[in-house]
Structure 1
Amino acid sequence: MKKIAIFIFLLFIFSCSDNSEESINNNLIEDNTSIQLENDKAEEKINQKDPKDYNKNTPSPSDHNNQTSETKEIYDKSSVISVDFGPESGNYIRANYRVKEQLARLPSPIEAIGYTDSITGGIYIDAQGVPNKNSIINIDLSTLKSDESRRDNYLRGSSLETDKFPKAVFEIREIAGFDLSSLITLQKNDFQMQLIGDLTIHGVTKRKTWNIDATYELGKLKGKASLSFPFSDFDMDIPKLFFIISVEDKITLELDFDVLLSLDSTIDLTSKSVPQFISEQIGANKPNSLYTNAWLCADDKTVLVDDLSTQIEETWKCYVDIELSDDSVVVTSTGIPNHDFQSGLGCCAEEVNYQWIIPTNPQINETITMAPDRGAVAITVTGVPIFGPEEGPGGDAVALHFDYFEEDRQPIEIGVCGGHSAGAYFHYHFDANCMHWHPEGTGLDWEDWDYRTSLDTSEHSPIIGFAFDGFPIYGPYGWDSYKNVIEITSSYRLKKDSNGYGGIDDWEYIEGLGDTDECNGISSPTPEVPDGIYHYVSSIRNGEGEIGFPYFLLCYHGIPEQSNFDKGGTQQGPPLRNQMQGNPNRRSQSPDFTEAASKLGISQKELLSALGGPPPDLEKAAEVLGVSIDELREIIPLPPRR
């Protein structure tokens, strides 16, 4: 927020004066000092009088606009910077409270923490950095919850009386603490600032200041706001419960946020003499929320998951880090999903160091580019590779999974959420929607995931990944032209007398059979892009109700980033099991080939070498070892199960 606000200040100053750069900077520094002093005085004064009198004595945003006629010529009267909150904004914000308690069963105090995500409103700032009267944050206190329902019931019922006062409302009056010493930096910036305004809780209004620690980079603001006060400030009762000995008379409120700043397009950058670096940076500060807000396992949020194909309980880490550039986002990931998974016969998955490049300004190309038959064609929002429909020697992995044909070349198992591993390399072949589903509180486990019953059919599916050309991949439920939720179906079907054994060659595109085009994409509005965007679909069914080949995408309508195609263990194949790097104890979790090698009269190393992969090529191995495929299948061990 600071960087955009700074540019707006500069824009205004350069438009009103021909002063030298030195005098401008001096004026800005003086203005900043004045702002801080006035803010300190304002807060001290306002706390000494009835908050209802505030609007009578404080200039409104419109008063500020009337003070400078020159500004009116440059800017539209609407806000030039805005941040929206709410379920449709795409911005993340959560309200927390913290209270120290002494529980009867514990020797020392603990910190009780509750939260709610039910927050609406927004912040709207004019050209002078003044928030307008619509800058309000509404917090639904009736949805507050913690780890103790009895505490929640008392807090909502007795302390807050949410039946009478369901919301906390913060009306923002001032924004203070801009650090003007870094005016011309275009780099990532950490800073502190304050939001000053009227906080209403439990029917009582007080002037309060939120202290904010935030990081700003390329239009995205991420950080935490906090303030503390005694319960008595808002006539609230300190919680009194039989299992709580005492509660400190101090409550801390926090707002965790990760938001995009929107810049009003009505600014006329050509009407006045504006430094080039300012106009360029303002133009650059419009990143698409698709490429900043969609990622899971980011922001240092630790997500540990288990491989259900092994006998031990692992703690593999799902991790994603993104770095924006002018035309792409660089995604660093471990290749581990955010849900428990099954490696399957190619056991066992491990954390891998991936770096993907996703274009952020994809354009429809006149000609399509075919995706690889096998290997990575896209990534999920957890940084896990999405593979094409084929597996191993060329059979359709998903058709086999649904028993369309019987595999006689090599076994294929697809586990939770349509994914499995080729040695260390976990990837998806279809579905992948369960990354937005969590079984906690449902009485279910990850193995209970079933897209036929677990998917929410009442709302537009979220983004589940990005193709290598930069276009997003959504789940199977989208909007029609009236924004009614419908299932988006594939337009592919099996050729006559085919069953998927031949992989991609067994399928044909029939225009109009379903909703998607030959690449399995469609142009339509989405929650993130209401005006419409081309995107691929994680199709579950085709227009005839059969399986939805190609499940993700078969070709690209944009220009794919070529560097992504040599990742995911897809070119020269992942290392053999006896060559794997990483945790040395992982070998004991893989199938034990000692007995199988003994039956064949060879060493385990010779057997693994013959099998190749992963995944193993049983047909080739049988030929090398001089046995039949059936004999080899009989003695090859399955991965250990829990």
Structure 2
Amino acid sequence: MKKIAIFIFLLFIFSCSDNSEESINNNLIEDNTSIQLENDKAEEKINQKDPKDYNKNTPSPSDHNNQTSETKEIYDKSSVISVDFGPESGNYIRANYRVKEQLARLPSPIEAIGYTDSITGGIYIDAQGVPNKNSIINIDLSTLKSDESRRDNYLRGSSLETDKFPKAVFEIREIAGFDLSSLITLQKNDFQMQLIGDLTIHGVTKRKTWNIDATYELGKLKGKASLSFPFSDFDMDIPKLFFIISVEDKITLELDFDVLLSLDTTIDLTSKSIPQFISEQIDANKPNSLYTNAWLCADDKTVLVDDLSTQIEETWKCYVDIELSDDSVVVTSTGIPNHDFQSGLGCCAEEVNYQWIIPTNPQINETITMAPDRGAVAITVTGVPIFGPEEGPGGDAVALHFDYFEEDRQPIEIGVCGGHSAGAYFHYHFDANCMHWHPEGTGLDWEDWDYRTSLDTSEHSPIIGFAFDGFPIYGPYGWDSYKNVIEITSSYRLKKDSNGYGGIDDWEYIEGLGDTDECNGISSPTPEVPDGIYHYVSSIRNGEGEIGFPYFLLCYHGIPEQSNFDQGGTQQGPPLRNQMQGNPNRRSQSPDFTEAASKLGISQKELLSALGGPPPDLEKAAEVLGVSIDELREIIPLPPRR
């Protein structure tokens, strides 16, 4: 249909250039290279058009909720899977048309090409894989473009009559060859299917079928849909002009797309028409999977490691156990990392008894909550505390490590992977990314770890921990809006004439200096949450290339679980190594709180809440639980106090 206009337009050009037969004949014998080049340019223009150009207004995760009530009703009540088109959707889609023609002055046929990216509508698929009545694609024909503006004007004005029929509309009635399980997965998947429906062009409606070849990966669907039909289907005559030898009686329409699918996991999928394994995959992709799949040293996969600060080879145990509830996960851990470590001057770390409570449905709060300057602010996926930026005397521990100032109040030393111990309590001040590094077989050992050279910069960094408000912490490499891997940088810098000696007071937040906000977080897609999630970053540099204060986080955008702040030890001047008394390899016994809670007939979360601490308040806990202190001591094997 659209090609007719191209042919008519060619006639228009010839007739406008000269009305004489001689002039027309001269035009017919011109060098035919220019026309072929024009069509080649049109093809090149389409091929070079970057889908990223159409994705500059990618909405934040919260924008998905800012739909109209009508759209939201469609999504919530009718669709398991949906995709929206339009300038505000952040999705890339473009319509192309192609037709072959043989001109008198060319030795071989050419292909005329045009395109538009003015497309709106959406596709909404229910639990049976059926599109609902609101699944419509609208193409604005008045914005069709090619390599020649005069051709475009003639096409819109005389052939398509876009003043009367401005849109091509495809109403989707059926999806053939569609398997819901091909989309409800995080694995890469190539597949073919068909969209069958009613196509209306130039006031004529016909039942048509789009053939689709697509690739699905990490919530994104990318591919091409195409269909072909004769001119006569939409009351379009094939041009029969003296300078056109022949025109193929076939128009090909294409849709190039790169879109983000929305998955509604609130829909009831217990219907017998939906295979059970699909429901299981949907459950696996719910947000709670973040809090069950990320942990290391869990599921009996304990790791034995050595404290490199001592003279003997130890076998400290990295151990994690989780108990998931509706709104939180209780993490029991020994506080030992999954890699060899250095306790440093605060020697020596031991296995201790941690029970952390991490919210699994974190929400952005209207106000931020400042994290402690010193002490635990988060935990790693190995159950090890992550501390705030300051060391015991009050200086910036990381600035000291990188020789920004000299500490004259108390010697401090940070070891492998940005960690050290304060007495029995091992913790990180920065980095922590080596938990995902494996030196075995490389000829290297743990002391060779250097985040500047050892980190994988080609992929999105994995989750390394969770803040006490429930939002995840990722390593320093993330995605931009086009899923290019970039280093996520901090937006803090040292104040004038400051060097970190004064701790966090020496730093100032400069919006836009780096990528993160004032808490050192960012909202963006991740491999685990393709739709995007707010998360904190283990930043190694700021936007100016200096150290990446606050290294993990400085404040919470969610509501932190208060019981976590009582754990992890303190930074109030741990004893120096040469002042330590007793056996540096002494270990405390890890109590089984799961079994204890079961004996009391309550959940582990309720038991931990009653105990408080550390150290736990047995007298108060016994009163709350309605048992004697002796009974509680018998049920709960507490570690010896230092």
Q: Structure 1-normalised TM-score?
A: 0.50
Equivalent pair of 1:211/1:226 in contact (CA under 8 Å): yes
Q: For the structure 1 residues 27 and 144, does the alpha-carbon distance in structure 2 shift closer, same or farther, using more than 3 Å as the test?
A: closer
Q: Deviations over 1:54-84 (max 9, x none)?
A: 9999999999999999999999999999999
- Structure 2 distance, partners of 1:189, 1:398, is 44
Q: For the structure 1 residues 103 and 129, does the alpha-carbon distance in structure 2 shift closer, same or farther, using more than 3 Å as the test?
A: same
Q: CA deviation at 1:289?
A: 1.7
Q: For the structure 1 residues 324 and 361, does the alpha-carbon distance in structure 2 shift closer, same or farther, using more than 3 Å as the test?
A: same
Q: CA deviation at 1:212?
A: 36
- Structure 1 distance, partners of 2:25, 2:579, is 61
- Structure 2 distance, partners of 1:243, 1:341, is 81
Q: Which moved more, 1:145-154 or 1:249-258?
A: 145-154
Equivalent pair of 2:618/2:632 in contact (CA under 8 Å): yes
Equivalent pair of 2:42/2:113 in contact (CA under 8 Å): no
Partner SS state of residue 31, structure 1: coil
| Deviation >6 Å, runs of 4+ | 1-264, 269-285, 571-584, 587-642
Equivalent pair of 1:51/1:205 in contact (CA under 8 Å): no
Partner SS state of residue 358, structure 1: strand
Q: Which moved more, 1:396-405 or 1:279-288?
A: 279-288
Q: Deviations over 1:344-367 (max 9, x none)?
A: 000000001100000011111111
Q: CA deviation at 1:288?
A: 2.4
Equivalent pair of 2:96/2:253 in contact (CA under 8 Å): yes
- Structure 1 distance, partners of 2:31, 2:174, is 14
- Structure 2 distance, partners of 1:65, 1:603, is 34
Q: Deviations over 1:569-617 (max 9, x none)?
A: 1398989999999978549999999999999999999999999999999
Q: For the structure 1 residues 169 and 493, does the alpha-carbon distance in structure 2 shift closer, same or farther, using more than 3 Å as the test?
A: same
Q: CA deviation at 1:440?
A: 0.3
Equivalent pair of 1:90/1:293 in contact (CA under 8 Å): no
Q: Deviations over 1:407-458 (max 9, x none)?
A: 1111111000000000110000000000000100110000000001000011
Q: Deviations over 1:518-570 (max 9, x none)?
A: 10111111111111111100000001000001100000011100000000013
Q: CA deviation at 1:302?
A: 2.1
Equivalent pair of 2:127/2:269 in contact (CA under 8 Å): no
Q: For the structure 1 residues 25 and 471, does the alpha-carbon distance in structure 2 shift closer, same or farther, using more than 3 Å as the test?
A: farther
- Residue 65 of structure 2: aligned partner: 65
Q: For the structure 1 residues 210 and 300, does the alpha-carbon distance in structure 2 shift closer, same or farther, using more than 3 Å as the test?
A: farther
Q: For the structure 1 residues 399 and 222, does the alpha-carbon distance in structure 2 shift closer, same or farther, using more than 3 Å as the test?
A: same
Q: Which moved more, 1:479-488 or 1:132-141?
A: 132-141
Q: Which moved more, 1:132-141 or 1:564-573?
A: 132-141
Q: Which moved more, 1:359-368 or 1:111-120?
A: 111-120
Q: Structure 2-normalised TM-score?
A: 0.50
- Structure 1 distance, partners of 2:353, 2:11, is 43
Q: For the structure 1 residues 388 and 306, does the alpha-carbon distance in structure 2 shift closer, same or farther, using more than 3 Å as the test?
A: same
Q: Which moved more, 1:237-246 or 1:561-570?
A: 237-246
- Structure 2 distance, partners of 1:257, 1:204, is 26
- Residue 212 of structure 1: aligned partner: 212
- Structure 1 distance, partners of 2:67, 2:175, is 19
Q: CA deviation at 1:208?
A: 42
Partner SS state of residue 288, structure 1: helix
Q: For the structure 1 residues 516 and 575, does the alpha-carbon distance in structure 2 shift closer, same or farther, using more than 3 Å as the test?
A: same
Q: For the structure 1 residues 632 and 124, does the alpha-carbon distance in structure 2 shift closer, same or farther, using more than 3 Å as the test?
A: closer
- Structure 2 distance, partners of 1:588, 1:101, is 84
- Structure 2 distance, partners of 1:484, 1:204, is 43
Equivalent pair of 2:75/2:124 in contact (CA under 8 Å): no
Unmatched segments (≥5 aa) in structure 1: none
Equivalent pair of 2:418/2:431 in contact (CA under 8 Å): yes
Q: For the structure 1 residues 159 and 189, does the alpha-carbon distance in structure 2 shift closer, same or farther, using more than 3 Å as the test?
A: same
Equivalent pair of 2:469/2:556 in contact (CA under 8 Å): yes
- Structure 2 distance, partners of 1:425, 1:133, is 60
Equivalent pair of 2:100/2:111 in contact (CA under 8 Å): yes
1:497 maps to 2:501: no
- Residue 150 of structure 1: aligned partner: 150
Equivalent pair of 2:97/2:254 in contact (CA under 8 Å): yes
Q: For the structure 1 residues 98 and 266, does the alpha-carbon distance in structure 2 shift closer, same or farther, using more than 3 Å as the test?
A: same
Partner SS state of residue 47, structure 1: helix
Q: For the structure 1 residues 419 and 592, does the alpha-carbon distance in structure 2 shift closer, same or farther, using more than 3 Å as the test?
A: farther
Partner SS state of residue 32, structure 2: helix
Alpha carbon RMSD of aligned pairs, Å?
22.8
Equivalent pair of 1:218/1:285 in contact (CA under 8 Å): no
Q: Which moved more, 1:496-505 or 1:174-183?
A: 174-183
- Structure 2 distance, partners of 1:20, 1:357, is 88
Q: Which moved more, 1:159-168 or 1:258-267?
A: 159-168
- Structure 1 distance, partners of 2:341, 2:253, is 37
Q: For the structure 1 residues 517 and 49, does the alpha-carbon distance in structure 2 shift closer, same or farther, using more than 3 Å as the test?
A: closer
Q: For the structure 1 residues 273 and 402, does the alpha-carbon distance in structure 2 shift closer, same or farther, using more than 3 Å as the test?
A: closer
Equivalent pair of 2:59/2:89 in contact (CA under 8 Å): no
Q: Deviations over 1:236-264 (max 9, x none)?
A: 99999999999999999999999999997
Q: Deviations over 1:205-240 (max 9, x none)?
A: 999999999999999999999999999999999999
- Residue 578 of structure 1: aligned partner: 578
- Structure 2 distance, partners of 1:467, 1:292, is 15
Q: For the structure 1 residues 142 and 186, does the alpha-carbon distance in structure 2 shift closer, same or farther, using more than 3 Å as the test?
A: closer
Q: CA deviation at 1:396?
A: 0.5
- Structure 2 distance, partners of 1:588, 1:312, is 19
Equivalent pair of 1:90/1:528 in contact (CA under 8 Å): no
Q: Deviations over 1:357-412 (max 9, x none)?
A: 00011111111100001000000000000000100110101000000001111111
Q: For the structure 1 residues 117 and 27, does the alpha-carbon distance in structure 2 shift closer, same or farther, using more than 3 Å as the test?
A: closer
Equivalent pair of 1:91/1:258 in contact (CA under 8 Å): yes
Q: For the structure 1 residues 531 and 432, does the alpha-carbon distance in structure 2 shift closer, same or farther, using more than 3 Å as the test?
A: same
Partner SS state of residue 565, structure 2: helix
Partner SS state of residue 465, structure 2: strand
Equivalent pair of 1:262/1:286 in contact (CA under 8 Å): no
Q: CA deviation at 1:301?
A: 0.7
- Structure 2 distance, partners of 1:398, 1:575, is 20
Equivalent pair of 1:82/1:125 in contact (CA under 8 Å): yes
Equivalent pair of 2:348/2:577 in contact (CA under 8 Å): no
- Structure 2 distance, partners of 1:28, 1:107, is 12
Equivalent pair of 1:347/1:421 in contact (CA under 8 Å): yes
Equivalent pair of 2:94/2:117 in contact (CA under 8 Å): yes
Q: For the structure 1 residues 218 and 490, does the alpha-carbon distance in structure 2 shift closer, same or farther, using more than 3 Å as the test?
A: closer
Q: For the structure 1 residues 308 and 22, does the alpha-carbon distance in structure 2 shift closer, same or farther, using more than 3 Å as the test?
A: farther
- Structure 1 distance, partners of 2:268, 2:598, is 79
Unmatched segments (≥5 aa) in structure 2: none
- Structure 2 distance, partners of 1:315, 1:25, is 93
